[in-house]
């Protein structure tokens, strides 16, 4: 039996080889669901406040502070160090946003939410031309309806990753 692909190695090799800003866009072709796996890894443990989330027309902008897992936790000097970067997650075209919280106890708009992952809810019934996209944490979930055929989902670092403070 051949060895299975090592997605962890692929993730670190592709994104973490050089110190650089990440710019990652989900593709519409057969790579779409693979791209969501990598995107979910890039935004895992990112933090944001709901008050900073902006809907401009049909474009949703989520400003994040992203832990840069792709860089690993050890720098060249052998010191264990986590890196972080100010980033922006853009999702469009959006038709609806719905927040839900465990026990229906919403966090305040000022509270920081931590991201667990992001994915397309393919098992859900697509309504018209849109598909639910789920951005979630352990105690919250944000369902964003996007038009799948025109969907643009992009993560863009706004600065070079730097040691987490």
Q: Residues in the chain, how many?
A: 165
pTM reported for the whole predicted model: 0.85
Q: What is the pLDDT of residues 45-88, one digit of tens each?
A: 999 999 999 999 999 999 999 998 888 776 666 677 788 999 99
Instruction: For the chain, count helices (H), then strands (E).
Output: 2, 12
What is the pLDDT, as a whole number, of residue 103? 77
What is the pLDDT, as a whole number, of residue 154? 96
């Amino acid at each position: 039996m051949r060895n299975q692909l090592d997605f962890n190695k692929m993730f670190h090799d592709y994104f973490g080889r050089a110190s650089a800003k990440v710019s990652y866009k989900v593709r519409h072709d057969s790579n779409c669901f693979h791209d969501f796996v990598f995107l979910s890894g890039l935004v895992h443990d990112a933090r944001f406040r709901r008050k900073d989330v902006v809907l401009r027309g049909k474009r949703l902008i989520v400003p994040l502070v992203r832990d840069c897992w792709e860089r690993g936790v050890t720098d060249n000097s052998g010191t264990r160090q986590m890196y972080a970067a100010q980033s922006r997650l853009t999702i469009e075209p959006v038709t609806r946003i719905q927040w839900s919280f465990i026990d229906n106890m919403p966090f305040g708009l000022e509270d920081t939410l931590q991201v667990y992952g992001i994915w397309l809810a393919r098992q859900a019934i697509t309504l018209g031309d849109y598909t639910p996209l789920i951005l979630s944490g352990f105690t919250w979930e944000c369902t964003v309806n996007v038009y799948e055929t025109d969907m643009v989902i992009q993560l863009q670092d706004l600065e070079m990753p730097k040691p987490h403070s």
